Chains A and B, each alone.
Chain A
Amino acid sequence: MTDVLALSGVSKSFGALRVTDDVSFSVPRGQALGIIGPNGAGKSTLFNLITGNLLPDAGRIELLGRDVTRVPAMERVRMGIGRSFQIPQPFEGLTVFENLLTAAAFGRGRREAEVEEACIAILRDTELLRKANQLAGGLTLLDRKRLELARAMATGPELLLLDEIAGGLTEAECRALVATIRALHAQGVTIIWIEHVLHALNSVVERLLVLDFGRVIGIGEPAEIMASREVREIYLGMEF
């Protein structure tokens, strides 16, 4: 019951291709779980199954002990799933603050006035407070990534899903973003994070899940997983 998310036997096929194959795992409250695997391993599909943008062919997905397998994506946002997009998708014509207000008002089902304080706190946590009144369309890549994070947090999530949020950043930018994610995690939010930038991922998550051909081929402590033969084979030639 302390699991924020639990998947059991979840499968999804596109035609003859099984992109998610009998996946089972759970994430206890407050934990940060990293998901790694080669391109095409089915990471994004797994994400979309969790958010509800895709429905599984078989299996069961529970959010906070409630079966959400057939619950539409928008409903899951209100139940506590916040997500960031791999390529930042800000509301460009709105300011940074308005981006958060929108997410908070609708993600939490509140009036604007009731969520202003929470939005200001998130702006501070994500170091966007100085840019609160700037149009989101004019932000740098790092700030767009921060905005993705902030907007997902604004929906008041129990579970934060991060989709390759560290990709495309310089080393220094990446460190700054990781520091922000660590700070959010320290506040107790549960995180599932797909990432190719392994050193960034491993400096935050407590557990790693390895996906290959749609199957879970390993789950456990990052050090242990990174040392395993299967992972080394998959990532052969990759630096980490």
Chain B
Amino acid sequence: MGARVTVATRAGRAAGIAALALLALGLALPAFAGRAMIQDLFFILTMLTLAQFWNLLAGYGGLVSVGQQAFVGIGAYAMFAGVILAGWDPVPAILLGGLAGLALAVPAAWFAFRLQGAYFAIATWVLAEVTRLSVAQWKALGGGTGTSLPREATSDMAFVAAIGRLFSVREAAARDILAYWLALALAAATVGGIYALLRTRHGLALAAVRDNTEAAKAVGVDAVRLKWLVYLIAAFGTGLAGALVYVQKARISPDAAFSVTDWTAYVIFIVVIGGIGTIEGPILGVLVFFALQSAFADYGSWYLMALGLIGIAIMLFAPRGLWGLIADRTGLHLFPVRRRLETGHATTRGD
């Protein structure tokens, strides 16, 4: 009797091929698409990245943070510091954003991990506020009113001239294309990286800790180390995304870069409506969010109230989100993680 362990499914393989095709299409898109569409896709891709990292934290790690704007903001400001104070090109300076996120995450985790549940959430928010207030004191980067990337930094940005020639577009449009490509690469690396993490034994450990922390510890899973792992990964990725967003915006202020609405509330909305604890959820969620925003953002605060109501309705009636509804109906998993034992005897019920 030969036993075999597999994770691959037909749907998973099809999804993998579709993802590669989408990636190729996405790379080629600037040749056909207009500037408005490129900007929209940039927004979707960066929000998707932020949502995937928040989902990693809350959905897989059980760490419900409402302070991820701290990492967006510190990442963005680190990039600005690299450009304005050290004279770096904005593109490599994005890496400084990730490193700054990591550097902030170490003391933040040391502090916040002493608290559980709602207290942890409040601590992350307080830390984000403290970081915002501290950065607002940074006079060299514009203090409370903020600043812009210097004209020469944006005009001489790496690859921009080449992209402008390639697609015969002006500098500003070429910059958007570059930012879009970087966002595409970051989103693809994020989704691929998180999926790869879930396929390692750490993916099992995350699920085990989520189900029963006591029992997980009793089989040798180091729950605290696992929390550190996801918190640091999320901080690095969120820092990178923050830096990238502000390379495209080219203008920063503490209130915008540390906005709890833009970088945490919207992100939580995306994850919750899409389906928390799945990779598919945030992908679906960001598309729904973008559609809602395009259609209703002009209604101002009515729009925000509607978002809130939709979020509450989903939490009450479909706590596993829209993807949860789809997965229940169809049994579909685009990113399969289930380790199936294939023997002559094992049945596959209850999957």
Q: Which residues of A contact B (CB under 8 A)?
A: 51, 73-74, 77-78, 82-83, 85, 89-95, 97-99, 101-103, 105-109, 111-112, 116, 120, 123, 129-135, 138, 151-152, 154-155
Contacts and interface: CB of A to CB of B under 8 A. Distances in A.
B42 to A, nearest CB: 35
Number of chain B interface residues as a range: 20 to 34
B219 A106 contact: yes
B212 A89 contact: yes
Interface stretch (B88-96, B157-165, B342-350): B342-350
A112 B346 contact: no
Given A89-B212, A133-B350, A102 B341 contact: no
Interface in B206-241: 207-208, 210-212, 214-222
14 contacts: A73-B217, A74-B217, A74-B220, A83-B218, A85-B218, A93-B210, A94-B211, A95-B350, A97-B346, A98-B339, A106-B205, A116-B3, A133-B351, A134-B349
Interface of B: 3, 5, 200-201, 204-205, 207-208, 210-212, 214-222, 338-341, 343, 345-351
A120 B330 CA distance: 30
Binding site of A, secondary structure by majority: helix, strand, loop or mixed?
Answer: helix
Contacts of A134: 347, 349-351
A102 B218 contact: no
A112 B339 contact: yes
A154 B201 contact: no
A95 B207 CA distance: 11
Contacts of B211: 90-94
Contacts of B221: 74, 102, 106
A106 B220 contact: yes
A51 B350 CA distance: 33
A135 B350 contact: yes
Given A91-B212, A105-B201, A133 B341 contact: yes
B339 A90 contact: no
Nearest to A156: B220
A74 B220 CA distance: 5
Contacts, number: 124
Contacts of B3: 116, 120
Given A98-B338, A132-B341, A134-B350, A89 B215 contact: yes
Nearest to B346: A132
Nearest to A113: B5
A190 B74 CA distance: 54
A91 B213 CA distance: 9
B338 A102 contact: no
A85 B339 contact: no
B215 A85 contact: yes
B218 A51 contact: yes
A93 to B, nearest CB: 5
B182 to A, nearest CB: 34
B126 to A, nearest CB: 31
A78 to B, nearest CB: 5
Nearest to A83: B218
A156 to B, nearest CB: 10
A235 B212 CA distance: 35
A107 B218 CA distance: 9
B201 A106 contact: yes
Nearest to B221: A106
Given A133-B348, A133-B350, A134-B349, A97 B341 contact: yes
B5 A116 contact: yes
A116 B351 CA distance: 19
Contacts of A92: 211-212
A93 B207 contact: yes
Given A89-B212, A133-B350, A94 B220 contact: no
B62 to A, nearest CB: 13
Given A93-B211, A94-B207, A120-B3, A102 B347 contact: no
Contacts of B205: 102, 105-106
A103 B219 contact: yes
Contact of A133 (B204, B207, B216, B349): B349
A95 B219 contact: no
A102 B208 contact: yes
Given A89-B212, A101-B201, A129 B220 contact: no
B229 to A, nearest CB: 13
A54 B214 CA distance: 14
Nearest to B225: A74
Nearest to A103: B219
B212 A107 contact: no
Given A98-B204, A101-B339, A129-B343, A91 B349 contact: no
A138 B347 CA distance: 14
